[in-house]
Amino acid sequence: MPNLEILAMPESIQGPKRWEWFDTVNKQIADAVANGQGVTMGPDAAKHYHQMQTLLETKHVQQIAMHHNAVVVMACSMIEKDPVLKQEWIEEHLAQANENTYIMHKSAQAFYDQRALPFPETKEEHRANLAKAKQAEKQDQQRFPSWKQALEENSDAF
């Protein structure tokens, strides 16, 4: 059985299309391995694959750091005795994450149900879960300015 040749990523593709190329190459490699077939990459394909793999690893370690820091902030807020400082720990981390819409919500459980990501079994499942959570976040971001304006107008009435 001849080796499968991985084609280089076309220079013209940008953004998400690069990740599609990378996913396709990973699937081709997995299929070749499953079939006992070798894989060949030219210098350009290897260069592009390496660039995407490096980006993937960087994203992965950044996500681990974000998760770790979120847990540390939650622990700090639990350790903090002063209720004002306790809240500041969390608010500062939310501000760094550009999350300000939580204040619109009345129910912590409803917010969690809307935004939390279930533990995925596959990359595809994760992407679908993430898209759903991002859609909820986007809807909140769109509602936030009018919610904030209404809040300010109501507070002026008192």
- pLDDT tens for the chain, 158 residues: list them: 788 888 888 888 888 899 899 999 999 999 999 999 999 999 999 999 999 999 999 999 998 998 898 999 999 999 999 999 999 999 998 888 888 899 999 999 999 999 999 999 998 899 899 999 999 999 999 999 999 898 888 876 54
In a domain, 120, yes or no: yes
In a domain, 63, yes or no: no
In a domain, 25, yes or no: no
CB 48 within 8 Å of CB 8:
yes
In a domain, 47, yes or no: no
In the chain, alpha helices (H): 16-34, 43-79, 83-96, 108-115, 123-156
In a domain, 33, yes or no: no
In a domain, 86, yes or no: no
Half-sphere exposure of 130 (CA within 13 A, CB side): 7
Q: pTM for the whole thing?
A: 0.64
CB 80 within 8 Å of CB 86:
yes
Q: CA geometry: angle at 57 spanning 67 and 95, to 5°?
A: 35
- For the chain, how many structural domains are there in total? 1
For residue 118, the enclosing domain spans 102-158
In a domain, 14, yes or no: no
In a domain, 46, yes or no: no
Query: Taken in order 13, 19, 24, 26, is the CA torsion positive or negative?
Result: positive
